[in-house]
A = this chain, B = another copy of it.
Amino acid sequence: MSNSFGTLYRITTFGESHGEGIGVVIDGCPAGIKLDRAFIQQELDRRRPGQSRITTQRKEPDTFELLSGHVDDLTTGTPLAFWIPNRNVRSRDYDHLAQAYRPSHADYTYQVKYGIRDHRGGGRSSARETAARVIGGAVAKLLLRQISDIQIHAWVQQIHHIQLETEPTSFELTTDYAFAVKCPHPPTAEKMYHFIDQIRKEGDSVGGVIACKATAVPPGLGEPIYNKLEAALASAMMSINAVKGFEVGSGFSGTFMRGSEHNDLFYMEGERVRTQTNYSGGIQGGISNGEPLYMRVAFKPTATIMQDQPSVDEAGNPVVLKGKGRHDPCVVPRAVPIVEAMAAIVLADFMLLQKARTIN
């Protein structure tokens, strides 16, 4: 259960960073969805390591095999299984970590929870698992494409102190941004890129914020009390490695407003009920209202840094960890397709769920 996500459209992932590979089973995808392999690969490529100087130098082609669930790339309603073999494994980089706990990693907690762990590259706790999510999200997008007009776009809104100041709606949201930082505003992106590169040279790391918007979401998605749309999205996003915060609509900044400012007033746009503002972020009472979904996700700075750090080992002895191995000085750019994937999985799930909630 801990490795599955979703109710009716459900992904189950498996695999480790330095094991045989990473896989995902997608159960509940309806029959008749065209599996566009090029699109799925393109989504994986957006997350793939080794894209530029500011990402880890691990070179993984991340090419997938489709093991089941289709006839001639058309889904049959049976579970889809995908498999990405690991290629560029350098486990010896991690030999010195067999006993030591890296700070702000999952080494200690896995050890105390399970009494055993695969220390190579973080094992199961590695962000390599997110490749499986990206596939789950790519298929969800293909499903959404066939049953709705929903469009999902995420982008980097902040890297450390560098913020995207202008309204994100004024940019053309796309999947291919300049400067490999996936910020839609080129001058800001350039600043972010050079800042990350500088941090990399210092052997340090930074975090940031990803914003995500979904348009053309039909009103009515989400459950009213515990499986609220924002609760499902929060659970999805908080399950991504390094995420420490989530907000929807006005989020934390809305706490500085008054009700008379914050209320989204209804009006009619032709036949359609709209709101004049969207502090609600497209969700009211746990249910989509037809306005764009808008959320923000906070990523902490990467825990792996290229600096010496004191720690302890499994026996409780003090050790000094040397900064070694390959890593990302900032995971935020590579996390953009992951945020989109999790949003797509949630929306696909709720689209199916909503069909079961109505009698007509």
Contacts and interface: CB of A to CB of B under 8 A. Distances in A.
Given A245-B246, A259-B204, A301-B257, A284 B109 contact: yes
Contacts of A166: none
Given A1-B7, A10-B1, A116 B355 contact: no
Contact of A245 (B33, B239, B251): B251
A3 B79 contact: yes
Contacts of A28: 1-2, 356-357
B204 A258 contact: yes
Nearest to A80: B14
A116 B1 contact: no
6 contacts: A31-B359, A76-B114, A245-B246, A250-B300, A258-B301, A261-B301
B124 A225 contact: yes
A181 interface: no
A226 interface: yes
Contacts of A143: 359
A204 B260 contact: yes
A81 interface: yes
Interface string A256-275: 11111111111110010101
A169 interface: no
Given A1-B28, A124-B224, A238-B246, 10 more contacts: A12-B27, A20-B67, A23-B25, A30-B357, A30-B359, A109-B220, A147-B359, A234-B246, A254-B301, A267-B310
Interface stretch (A39-47, A52-60, A183-191, A206-214): A206-214
Contacts of A219: 108-109, 112-113
A312 interface: yes
- In this complex, the member of A8, A14, A158, A352 whose beta carbon has the largest number of chain B beta carbons within 10 angstroms is A14
- In this complex, the member of A204, A244, A283 whose beta carbon has the largest number of chain B beta carbons within 10 angstroms is A244
Contacts of A67: 14-15, 19-21, 23, 83
A252 B245 contact: yes
B8 A1 contact: yes
- In this complex, the member of A206, A226, A287 whose beta carbon has the largest number of chain B beta carbons within 10 angstroms is A226
Contacts of A21: 67-68
B78 A263 contact: no
Nearest to A160: B256
Contacts of A178: none
B19 A14 contact: no
Interface in A91-113: 101, 103-106, 108-110, 112-113
A245 B244 contact: no
A77 interface: yes
A266 B312 contact: yes
Contacts of A355: 355-356, 358
B284 A108 contact: yes
A33 B48 CA distance: 33
A227 interface: yes
A66 to B, nearest CB: 8
